[in-house]
Amino acid sequence: MEGNPSRPANNIEIKVHPRLADNAIQPVVQPSTASLRTTGTSREYTPFNRWFPWLVPLFVVANIVVFVVTMFVNDCPKNSASCVARFLGRLSFQPLKENPLLGPSATTLEKMGGLDVHKVVNKHQSWRLISCIWLHAGVFHVLANMLSLVFIGIRLEQEFGFVRIGLLYVISGFGGSLLSALFFQSGISVGASGALFGLLGAMLSELITNWTIYENKVLALATLIFIVVVNLAVGILPHVDNFAHIGGFVSGFLLGFVFLIRPQFKWISQKGSSPGHNAASVSKHKSYQYALCIISLVLLIVGFVLGLIMLLRGVDLNEHCSWCHYLSCVPTSKWDCKSQRVFCEMTQFGNQLNLTCQSNGKSGIYQLPNGNPSQYEIERLCSDLCN
């Protein structure tokens, strides 16, 4: 499940993207024509090639390597005296109070390319829209997402090849980051869930556009919709970046109509019939498949262009949609959805640290035992002062 590397006293909130629930279910069933045999020969006719999956495993390795590098850069022992698993040296984790997912600090994630809207807009660091999908907030976070990627991605790559699935993954991740940046502008967002939801959305559109070649259509559609609804429902919990999920899902859903189109059933049957069989020529794809492909491509391009323009102009869509924040978090008596980023001015003289909260003007003087406070300690003191 998605969580926030807890921000008790942290001036940067981290939104992480979790694994998808029960991704072992594979609702897209095998085509009924997969076993057609040509007359007069014992060779089985296979209408679709099976690809060897190598890109998705490479993505998994890349995400794990990036996480290890992030932990090396984090170097917890240098900045904190209460690291978890200190025997790992530089790879040890931040204190559980700061990050219960067993991972780096918010500062390190920001340094490594986490999605920070302020830097995207004011420092022209648009590359963070892509880099954030390769970062994870902790061991639990990266393992859960990579398990989901293996369950979903490998099968899709076997069916459609590395080019289409690779593009689908990256573009969906970008779409998730873009929508997240337009709504969630007070913290850092990291994780691959936008891309994973894109793969899930593409599975749904692939089933719709290739409807004629599938058996058990209704069951497959109902199963897939149920999985989508359950996973999106998880996003209403606090500190979950559901906008990244929604943006990734919508992007993947539209891309599925473009990248995952299959020939229609009659065309496949004709290709698998005996050479002497006479039949009227059938078009490879149905007209509605072409229509869905063109409409989806136009919607995707227009959406990305408009989204980028609004983002780079500093637009906060929460100001134009008073209810949209409920799509990412629904407040209850058990939790609060509000998040606030606090800032302090700091001066240090020897072992004395002076902080002034910029939001309420309060000042505080703190004596430091070692004279070299960690970033987390400063953020904790600042949060206490401002709140």
Q: Hey, which residues are catalytic here?
A: 193, 245
Query: What six digits make up the tokens of 167?
Result: 């593009």
- Which pairing describes strands 187-190 and 115-116: parallel, antiparallel, or unpaired? antiparallel
Contact criterion met (CB below 8 Å) for 256 and 277: no
Distance CA 146, CA 19 (A): 8
Which residue spans within the chain are E strands per DSSP?
A: 13-16, 115-116, 187-190, 344-349, 352-357, 363-367
Question: Do the strands 187-190 and 13-16 form a parallel or antiparallel pair, or are they unpaired?
Answer: parallel
Q: Is 200 helix (H, G, I), strand (E, B) or coil?
A: helix
8-state DSSP, 35:
G
Q: Are 139 and 102 in contact (CB under 8 A)?
A: yes
Cβ atoms of residues 364 and 346 within 8 Å = no
Give yes or no for a contact between 357 and 270, defined as CB atoms under 8 angstroms apart.
Answer: no
> What is the rounded CA–CA span in Å between residue 167 and residue 158?
15
No. of H helices and E strands in the chain? 13, 6
Name the DSSP class of 134: G
